[in-house]
Amino acid sequence: DAGVIQSPRHEVTEMGQEVTLRCKPISGHNSLFWYRQTMMRGLELLIYFNNNVPIDDSGMPEDRFSAKMPNASFSTLKIQPSEPRDSAVYFCASSLWGGRAEDTQYFGPGTRLTVL
Amino acid sequence: AQRVTQPEKLLSVFKGAPVELKCNYSYSGSPELFWYVQYSRQRLQLLLRHISRESIKGFTADLNKGETSFHLKKPFAQEEDSAMYYCALTGGGAQKLVFGQGTRLTINP
């Protein structure tokens, strides 16, 4: 298994443009998480899904951010319109079934987003 | 509110010396604590969790509820231990991992 797959690995865009980040979780995992990492705020959870259903999106910074999981093997995080302060590394992670201490979240390599 | 504090952003020790990475947390219930590690050019990965009471790569961490701490320790540091270390917690059955700011550990030869 290639683990959690994220694309693109790097994205440079201009302010105001729409950005779409993609994630493919590990096959068989039921939970998917989106995190953002910045120097100022560290690693913070944006949203997570169980069985493709969004469970907690309280970490989504504002309405410009949206996330979907149309099926068990694919999720997107969209920013529209993007702003320079959105520049960060965005991580996707998946786990077999979150909420249990024995579950492990497996992280993808991250997408480094730069908004000019 | 859940919070994890790692007071040291940078920690540098010599090979063979003991290592302790500090982690303090704030949580009103019974948390589950984890240490994650990110080696250079690798993914963030789980190092150990308190519920397993295990030693991984020579590292151990004990949950001290009285001091609300979960410090990571290793008696003899090795150069390959150089990495970014994150302390994290979940609690109340929630699936959200709350991370500390991380500590960059450098082991000098």
pLDDT 10s digits, A65-114: 999 999 999 999 999 999 999 999 999 999 987 656 567 899 999 999 99
**pLDDT at residue B54, rounded to an integer:** 81
Any A CB within 8 A of B99 CB: yes
For chains A and B, what is the number of CB pairs under 8 angstroms?
A: 48
Which residue, among A106, A76, A111, A98, has the nearest Cα to A2 in the 3D structure? Answer: A106
**Structure-block tokens of residue A21:** 């980040």
Give SS3 for B59.
strand
B29-49: average pLDDT = 91
Nearest residue in chain B measured CA to CA from A107? B44
Contacts B3 to A, Cβ<8 Å: none
For the stretch B32-49, what's the b/e string if a residue is b when 16 or more beta carbons lie within 10 angstroms of its beta carbon? bbbbbbbeeeebbebbbb
Element of type H or E holding A38: strand A31-38
C-alpha distance from residue A3 to each of A49, A55, A103, A106, B93 (Å): 18, 23, 15, 7, 25
Q: Do B46 and A102 touch (CB under 8 A)?
A: no
Nearest residue in chain A measured CA to CA from B31? A101
A1-6: average pLDDT = 89
Q: Do B93 and A3 touch (CB under 8 A)?
A: no
pLDDT band at residue B93 under the 50/70/90 scheme: low
**pLDDT at residue A113, rounded to an integer:** 98
The whole-angstrom separation of Cα A56 and Cα A52 is 12
